[in-house]
A = this chain, B = another copy of it.
Amino acid sequence: MSLRYALLAILRVGPLSGYDLQKQFSQSVGHVWHAPDSQIYPELRKMQADGLIEGEEQVRGQRGMRRVYHVTEAGDLAYREWMASPLDYQRVRDPAHLRAAYLENTTPEAARDFLYRHIAYWESELEQFQGELDHIAQMSSAMLNRRLEMTPPAERESTIAYKLFAYEGLAEHARGEIGWARRGLALVDRLEAKTKAKGSSTDAAGAASR
């Protein structure tokens, strides 16, 4: 259910078309809540049906058309109620730690491969977070600028401070995952060294699993 509140958070700043919204989304909230356009368009329709937003049709060129949505009072209220309500945490579903818990069932090579990919994944995430942090620090993020223009000067500081806070948390998490996977690589090495030292009777491939 968070998708609609993520959309409201952006729309509250000012009216946008589904297309623009989707772009703003992927550049800002998208780091924290992914949504493809095939999910955004229908959700906007549903939100309109629920009275949270209203769409105005605008002509574009000769036959082109776009629907620009703005938040209604009901939508603003719903958003603020959500912000003040306890978050519902989803159940854990963590493929990486699931696999990590059973790495003894595969070869050291496959285990390392998994850990290398894990590092690569989180390094790329970390880069993105760091990029966002830089943008926020420079106040040059498009979405943030739009936001800041509409915001009374007194609130600008907290707007920026909370964005930094959120992205710092994400970056920290990414660094944690990278460190964890690195320690995992060392563990694979250690365990492999031990099995090689002892069990030289069983063959290398068959020793991995079963």
Which A residues have a C-beta under 8 Å from some C-beta of B?
2, 5-6, 9, 12, 29, 31-34, 79-80, 83-84, 86-107, 110, 113-114, 117-118, 121, 154-155, 157-159, 161-163, 165-170, 172-173, 176-177, 180, 183-184, 187, 191, 194-195, 198-199, 207, 209
How far apart are the CA atoms of A93 and B29 in the complex, in Å?
A: 10
Q: What is the minimal beta-carbon distance from A210 to any residue of chain B, in angstroms?
A: 8
How far apart are the CA atoms of A96 and B29 in the complex, in Å?
A: 12
8 A–B pairs (Cβ distance < 8 Å), ordered by A: A6-B98, A32-B98, A33-B98, A84-B107, A87-B117, A100-B162, A157-B191, A162-B187
- Supposing A33-B92, A100-B166, A154-B198 touch, asked if A105 and B87 sit within 8 A by C-beta, the answer is no
By the criterion CB–CB under 8 Å, are B101 and A84 in contact?
Answer: no
Interface centre among A6, A84, A90, A198 (most CB of B within 10 A): A84
Having A32-B97, A80-B105, one finds 17 other A-B pairs with CB under 8 Å, namely: A2-B98, A34-B92, A80-B106, A80-B209, A83-B102, A84-B113, A87-B96, A87-B118, A98-B166, A100-B162, A101-B163, A103-B165, A104-B158, A172-B180, A173-B173, A173-B176, A176-B176
What is the oligomeric copy number? 2
By the criterion CB–CB under 8 Å, are B89 and A105 in contact?
Answer: no
Nearest B residue (CB) for A173:
B176
How far apart are the CA atoms of A118 and B94 in the complex, in Å?
A: 19
How far apart are the CA atoms of A105 and B79 in the complex, in Å?
A: 9
- Supposing A34-B93, A172-B176 touch, asked if A102 and B165 sit within 8 A by C-beta, the answer is no
How far apart are the CA atoms of A84 and B114 in the complex, in Å?
A: 8
How far apart are the CA atoms of A84 and B176 in the complex, in Å?
A: 24
Q: What is the minimal beta-carbon distance from A117 to any residue of chain B, in angstroms?
A: 6
